[in-house]
Amino acid sequence: MKQENNAKAILAIAMKLSKPIAYLIILLVTYTMGYLIASSSSSPPPFSSISELTNLPNQLDHFRVTTRCSDRPVQPELVRQTILDRVFNSRSPYDNFPPPHVRDLLRTKRVKGWGSYGAVFDHLVRSVKPRIIIEVGTFLGASAIHMANLTRQLGLRTQILCVDDFRGWPGFRDRFKDIGMVNGDVLLLQQFMQNVVSFNFTESVLPVPFSSASALEKFCEWGIFGDLIEIDAGHDFNSAWADINRAYRILRPGGVLFGHDYFTAAANRGVHRAVTLFAQFHGLKVMVDGQHWVIDSS
């Protein structure tokens, strides 16, 4: 009843305006009312109001990525050296690791993740057979180490690039009190590297210690593309939307995007909304594998 009253009020105002504007408003009201009524018994619609629908182009301006990707993709066998040259002064970050001032603050292994051992990893590694995996959101490296183990078992020569600022989040040490800190610098990167060393994956797992936005844009400029890209960093809509769009630009033709936390209490306000809206825009299908979402671009 309230929706009907709102519609009548808008129509009354529209009739006082010039006919072209009135027709436009009537069209938008009709479309939105029909959409809301059809969706009332199902999940929340992607657009909750007529103003959100009509302002969508302006909203998406805030998430538009303009970086130009290189038209010369780096060959998979050269990706590792490209990262070493551009990020680490041509030396492996694992050389002489760990440094003396943090050695006693690291645990031999401290592997922790969420959804890091789901069947989706085995399914995708077997089907895609990736040469390059890009993981956006790594924390302590549980899923990266799991994927490295899977590729090793299959005899694949896969390079895994782990994009993370390795800062955690405010208050995360309340839950991870054993992660050290030196002069305010939390030792997430160092513990991640220690985990990689412990599992003997230093040749196949490489950290890229920057924000997802800056790292993915540089990959685009440098011509580094992934066959399999996992998005598991920020879980709010803005972060997930930005990461997915940037990652899609560096996905090799026929590659696969996937990520965790498709079903959460955030529902239509977080990852679920970003993934669904992205798939709608690009005419792609979202598949579900446990708690993971999967978008196959082929």
Burial class (CB in 10 A: 0-12, 13-18, 19+), 179: buried
**Same domain for 81 and 42:** no
Within this chain, do residues 27 and 129 fall inside the same structural domain, yes or no? Answer: no
User: Rounded CA gap, 156 and 201, in Å?
Assistant: 13
List the pLDDT tens digit at each of the 298 positions of the chain: 555 555 555 545 545 544 555 545 544 544 444 444 444 434 445 554 445 444 555 555 545 666 788 999 999 999 999 999 999 999 999 999 999 999 999 988 887 766 667 889 999 999 999 999 999 999 999 999 999 999 999 999 999 999 999 988 787 777 878 888 888 888 999 999 999 999 999 999 999 999 999 999 999 999 999 999 999 988 889 999 999 999 999 999 999 999 988 776 566 778 999 999 999 999 999 999 988 999 999 8
Buried/exposed code over 189-220 (b: 16+ C-beta within 10 A; e: otherwise): bbbbbbbbbebebeebbbbbbbebbebbbbbb
Residue 173 belongs to a domain with what CATH number? 3.40.50.150
The domain boundary, picked from 34, 61, 88, lies at: 61
- Decide which of 22, 37, 61 is a domain's last residue: 61
Q: How far apart are CA 217 and CA 208, in angstroms?
A: 13
Same domain, residue pair 34 and 118: no
Is residue 115 in a domain?
Answer: yes
Give the span between the Cα atoms of 102 and 86, in whole angstroms: 25
Q: Determine, yes or no, domain membership for 68.
A: no
pLDDT at 112: 72
Query: Do you find a cis peptide bond into 57, omega within 30 degrees of 0?
Result: no
Judgement on whether residues 83 and 221 belong to the same structural domain of the protein = yes
Q: Are 54 and 137 within one domain?
A: no
Question: Looking at the domain assignment, is residue 10 inside a domain?
Answer: yes
Domain that holds residue 132: 76-296
Same domain for 36 and 100: no
Does residue 67 belong to any structural domain of this protein? no
Q: Determine, yes or no, domain membership for 286.
A: yes
Per-residue confidence (pLDDT) for residue 180, from 0 to 100: 83
Q: From CA 96, how far away is CA 82, in angstroms rounded?
A: 21
Same domain, 162 and 19: no
Domain annotation covers residue 97: yes
Last residue within a domain, chosen from 61, 89, 110: 61
DSSP class of residue 106? Answer: S
Please indicate, yes or no, whether residues 116 and 257 belong to a single structural domain of this protein: yes
pLDDT score recorded for residue 42: 42
- Tell whether 6 is covered by a domain: yes
The pLDDT of residue 1: 55
Same domain, 159 and 205: yes
Say how many domains are in the chain. Answer: 2
* 221: in domain: yes
CA dist., res. 186 & res. 181, Å (int): 4
Q: 99 and 42 in one domain?
A: no
Are residues 114 and 6 located together in one domain of the fold? Answer: no
Residue with token string 């993934």: 275
Max Cα–Cα distance, the chain, nearest Å: 77
Place of tokens 């590792």: 80
Per-state percent for the chain, helix, strand, coil, to nearest 5: 45, 15, 40
The reply to whether 121 and 207 lie within a common domain is: yes
